[in-house]
Amino acid sequence: MLKYLLATTAAISMFVLAPGAHAAVIAAFSQVSPTNTVVATDNSVTTNIVIDDAVTNVSTFGGGGALTTYFSLNSTSTDAAVQVGGAVIQHYDGTFCFTSAINCGGTNYLTGVFDDAAFGALGGPGLVVNVNNPPDALTLTSDIIPAIDLQPPSSFSLAFTNLTPVLSIDGATINGFTAAFAGVVSASTGTDVPEPGALAILGLGLMGLAGVKYRK
């Protein structure tokens, strides 16, 4: 487990870019379930990654305090997976939502539409989905966070751990798998709020997931 955690953390350190100087973490989150909630399926050409109404702990929503929400994600690959040394990269379009009810219903705590890249080490148990706007596309909306606090520079970083089976390429795309998740969303607050360490928060989320797996 320690080896897998170190490998995943190293991948994050290599590939996740910190948000801009005027960006602040508005959501740091991780799944509640001790079992895998991410389901990726592939047809040798494209891969679809889905999280369906996973109960999720969010440590902050724009400074609003801790909250338990439903989190959903749906993303599909938009190009072929490319091997670079011992790693693989593939681009995805998708949407995500943190809401008070299933099926992205009830209060919209935070919703996003994105165009990003997924990185991971071939044969490894981890995968990082990351988008930084600019230059990538990321649009954020919320019922509780003012629009002025959801502007670029913004980022959405999502780490998958415990990939089962481990990461590989199936034909032209990343293989299907199940996984657990943790992540961070950052955005401009419209004021000079210093960046409070998105990577550190994401790392803590991953350590928490690893701890749950170890205890289980």
pLDDT of residue 61: 81
- Residues of the chain under the 70 pLDDT cut: 1-22, 62, 190-216
Q: Record the pTM.
A: 0.80
Q: What is the pLDDT of residues 68-110, one digit of tens each?
A: 999 999 999 999 999 999 999 999 999 999 999 999 999 999 9
Q: By residue range, what is the domain housing residue 79?
A: 2-215
Question: CA–CA separation, 194 vs 212, rounded Å?
Answer: 31
Domain count, the chain: 1
Q: What is the pLDDT of residues 149-165, one digit of tens each?
A: 999 999 999 999 999 99
Question: CA–CA separation, 186 vs 28, rounded Å?
Answer: 9
Give me the half-sphere count of Cα atoms (radius 13 Å) on the Cβ side of residue 122.
15
In 3D space, the residue among 9, 11, 16, 27 whose CA is nearest the CA of residue 132 turns out to be: 16
Give me the half-sphere count of Cα atoms (radius 13 Å) on the Cβ side of residue 201.
22
